[in-house]
Chains A and B, each alone.
Chain A
């Protein structure tokens, strides 16, 4: 990397220079290398609406055929390897643009333990800032590169430091910041008893006590629908088996909490039921404490298959050994050069500061050595086994025209997939660790980046956890407005998935139509919050500001336009005989399998389980609007896809009802409980934001909420020590992470080409799964 402009110099050499430059300028083909969540906006930039193909940039082919990489944001340590190899595979001359703030110096993830800086790995031509960037920005980056190729120098923008004097009347406002208060030796308890009005819970507790007699140490009701059972490490498996017999058939979350000063780990499993209707909203936490030295535990994989991947993850993060899980000691989410056991409290990441003092150089992450090897988790015995049984090994991704940020290694026999080994973690941005070092309120934008095509639901899921802890009642108007946002976000996510689904079948028209529909919803979200896909609009207690009636009118009108475009999409893609032939009867996940793998959301419902958090434990305005839950019986790709299309129609119905209802409701949009003395902020939090939220401290204990995001149940567990104004531990279980297990199950035994049908039908969005 001696001369970063070597490729430009090559174009300018020789007698053919003008032709070479002209051709390179108008034929920048970006390769299919989607590295992070800004890929959503990349899709928009090359879909109708923005149409990057106007500039001659065609998204076709892989490294060998292209001459341009658009790096979309975060490059994790795992992805850095892929990036290096992709860049090496490309023929000269080649160019690199980096989009997104996290591609520059890390952006919101700057102090994460798993990210690198693209500029350390490849020579970068242009950076496009923004989180996420807009398609306009991306295309301007392309134009700037075109100018650079033609010799127009745009290497620097001249920055000048100016001193702006303050006007007399205005007081000087510092950058808003609250000092972070870390309790030195906090008391961590996950089973704090609370008096709640929950009759069924008392019955259930008695029943559980009878069943588990002698096997538990204590049993507490920690809230409505939450029961915590403490047991010993030895009895854990027996308790789990007993619970399974009581129809608690899957695990929603596996969580480990480290308490260093007490030298212990708290390991908890959250079991829930899909089989019995009245048990559906209940989360039973069984937890146990083990010593910090040589932590070992019986794996519950044999009881609950759905705990499998989460146990692997916890093993990697904390070093807890789950005996019986076959992945112990191997890497799953993290790269080989990621720091070991990163979520332990001993491992400290650079602390966040806003304003640097005079003369202090900001201490950024140490530059990371570019990786030297291509790490593919395929072992000798795996290859030998495949070789002996006459199979070939096909690794897919992360640089592949149809893989996304995921690597799956297949063993293919003939045309059938015998085994599929997933390798997630290419977009693991270490949100759980970052959240432990941010104020509660600062985590809102962080968790929104879980899925920037489903922002409002992710936002809502986290905010609801805080509201649950503070027992805040949201005003009625805000409830409806939040419902509108969540449903718009749901439609948006489903159309993204449908677009990817059609793209995986080679049907670019369906993809373009979906992106066109998404544009309208994004426009509505923009009218509400001002941001395309990172609104951060929902705050504890309500919304940031009121939504005017004109915008509500626009949303109402938009639903009609949506219907028209929806019909066009259906006629070209959904009723297409080829689509039906490809998707019907493929990737079947039976009801038993879906429950066993702990599937969530529309993918669970497509297998015949009637489970929707919006119905079983309604939040916001969902109990006041009328909608149906779509379930199917087939459990195949077509069922999953059509199920979501039907849910879109229900969502449109909800939006219409909510818009009608909210017009008649006037009032504050922020709860009095949270505003305290700042009553004037009841309709707009602007100006009082950090005063209200800066020093938010949650009551001691564990606060778990489940929310129905677009792709399924999102679980947030906040553990607070009651003293610090940062969370002690945040556990996020995103829907795609839960669906990965079932996804791999559905692929097995299908044909090689069916992998993409299954992938598309699960709407698997790797940034959401990797967190």
Chain B
């Protein structure tokens, strides 16, 4: 028997504190007609002595659910997927002496371009060619959301004393690494089920690159665990923000931050490590046979991964959601700082496209197994020196 009343009180006692919402609520009550509507809605009390509207809002504002759904969860991810490719096109366009998408909505600099693109993909035919493995061909782009969305459960977007994390566990970082390591498996599945020469080459490249970045990546995470002395994301933020920004991961261990960043670029196949997808060489590699909405999903795959990895980087190296408190926003301000930091990392990553050409596979592997591995090991030793010895 589930104790529903207890659950409701748990939800209502663990709410995100945003003073601005009360201000809005009181303002709404003052407006003549809307005020009475709000009062009427709040008077419907079918069960548990709580107005149903209050229950619904309370559910969204329930801390774990708020973090998962709004910031830095699904809503932020969705917004990012819609504006990040547009921002990329605009920024790279500016670097290249042009304007990028514009005419669709000239006043807002074409900001709804991605809406048109995604709608077009949605209304387009999805071709499953006869050599493809039907079942897996269609499944994998959807299944890919699983390893992308699950790490969001452990990301802490809060600041010191205000953890904003859906699930608090002492093994959070380990679980996240495990889930992130799953991502390339799905891309390989995509390439394998496409049954195409270029998809095959792209898949093999992806597998090679996977090993090249994964080991430095894991070592760097290990270095950060050693540095913070914990792998619980809630405690990581507390440790990182002890004094001021001087305890952030990027200050204490800049080498680890650099290695993590390069590993992120490699993992998301951005230039200069756009090796598995290589437009000119392999014509999108594993995704070559996808069309319509299936390609739309495959196209945003890399952006999803970028967002998750940048969020982890913000949490580990940039002190999570810590920042000057914005009045009236309460705990929302942590979320805002978190998203801003993440966005900055994303933009740096996106801008690489305008600056660097593409490495060859063997060169990418050499960087992964050579320079990055050495950097990661140095970072680990450095962490031991700082975190354990000192």
* Contact of A54 with B99 at beta-carbon distance under 8 Å, contacts A19-B119, A64-B288, A578-B272 already known: yes
Knowing A415-B362, A508-B354, the reply to whether A752 touches B281 (Cβ < 8 A) is yes
Closest B-chain residue to A14, C-beta based? B123
In the complex, are the beta carbons of A64 and B290 less than 8 A apart?
Answer: yes
Q: Is the CB of A55 within 8 A of B103?
A: yes
Instruction: Map CB proximity to A onto B89-118 as digits: 1 under 8 Å, 0 otherwise.
Output: 100110111111111100000100101110
Question: Counting CB contacts under 8 A, is A62 at the interface?
Answer: yes
- For chain B, residues 255 to 306, give those with C-beta under 8 angstroms from any C-beta of chain A: 271-272, 274, 278-281, 283-284, 288-292, 295, 299
Q: Is B124 an interface residue (CB 8 A)?
A: yes
Q: Would you give the shortest CB distance from A403 to chain B, in whole angstroms? A: 9
Residue B133, interface by CB 8 Å: no
Q: Is the CB of B123 within 8 A of A65?
A: no
- What residue in chain B is nearest A754 (Cβ atoms)? B360
Whether A401 contacts B362 by the Cβ 8 Å rule is: no
Closest CB in chain B relative to A568 CB, distance in Å: 9
List chain A residues, Cβ under 8 A from B295.
61, 64-65
Whole-angstrom CA separation of A85 from B291 in the bound complex: 16
Residues of chain B lying within 8 A (CB to CB) of residue A572:
355
Interface presence of A506 (CB below 8 A)? yes
Q: Which residues of A contact B30 (CB under 8 A)?
A: none
* List of B residues within 8 angstroms of A48 by Cβ: 96-98
CB pair A578 B357 closer than 8 Å: yes
- Contacting residues of chain B (195-215) with chain A, CB-CB under 8 angstroms: 197-198, 200-201
Taking a contact as CB atoms under 8 Å apart, the answer to whether A20 and B123 are in contact is yes
A65-B201 in contact (CB<8A): no
Contact check, B283 vs A582: say whether CB atoms are below 8 A apart.
no
CB pair B101–A64 under 8 Å, yes or no, is no
Output the least CB separation between B57 and chain A (Å). Answer: 31
Distance between B326 CB and nearest chain A CB, rounded to angstroms = 36
Give the total of B residues in contact with A, Cβ under 8 Å: 57
Tell me the A749-766 residues at the B interface (CB within 8 Å). 751-756
Given the complex of chains A and B, what is the CA–CA distance between A93 and B119 in angstroms?
13
Q: What per-residue 1/0 map shows which CB atoms of B104-143 lie under 8 Å from chain A?
A: 1000001001011101101111110000000000000000
A19-B119, A509-B354, A512-B96 given; A61·B124 CB < 8 A: no
Are A23 and B123 in contact, with the CB atoms below 8 A? yes
A54 lies within 8 A of B359 (CB): no
In the assembled complex, which residues on chain A have CB atoms less than 8 Å from the CB atom of B22?
none
- Assess the B126–A507 pair: CB atoms within 8 A: no
Is B363 at the interface (CB under 8 A from chain A)? yes
| A211–B180 CA distance with the chains assembled, in angstroms | 76
Bound complex: CA of A401 vs CA of B288, how far in Å? Answer: 11
Q: Is the CB of B104 within 8 A of A56?
A: yes
Within 8 A of B (CB), among A407-426: 415
B105 to chain A, nearest CB (A): 9
> Which of B96, B125, B198 has the most chain A CB within a 10 Å cutoff?
B96
Neighbouring A residues of B124 by C-beta, 8 Å: 67, 91-93
The interface residues of chain A lying within 8 Å CB-to-CB of B356 are 507, 576, 578
B169-204 CB mask vs A (1 if < 8 Å, else 0) is 000000000000000000000000000011011000
When distances are taken between beta carbons in the complex, the residues of chain A under 8 Å from B284 are 61-62, 65
User: Contact between A513 and B97 (Cβ–Cβ < 8 Å)?
Assistant: yes
Which 9 pairs show the lowest CB-CB distances between chains A and B?
A402-B280, A505-B357, A23-B119, A91-B125, A512-B96, A506-B358, A48-B98, A507-B357, A27-B120
> 12 A-B pairs, CB-CB below 8 angstroms?
A20-B123, A23-B120, A27-B117, A32-B283, A56-B103, A62-B284, A65-B299, A394-B197, A402-B280, A513-B97, A752-B281, A756-B280
User: Which residues on A are within 8 Å of B, measured CB to CB?
Assistant: 16, 19-20, 22-27, 32, 47-49, 51, 53-56, 58, 60-62, 64-65, 67, 89-93, 392, 394, 400-402, 415, 502-510, 512-513, 516, 572-573, 576, 578-579, 581-582, 751-756
Give B residues with C-beta under 8 Å from A: 89, 92-93, 95-104, 110, 113, 115-117, 119-120, 122-127, 197-198, 200-201, 271-272, 274, 278-281, 283-284, 288-292, 295, 299, 353-363
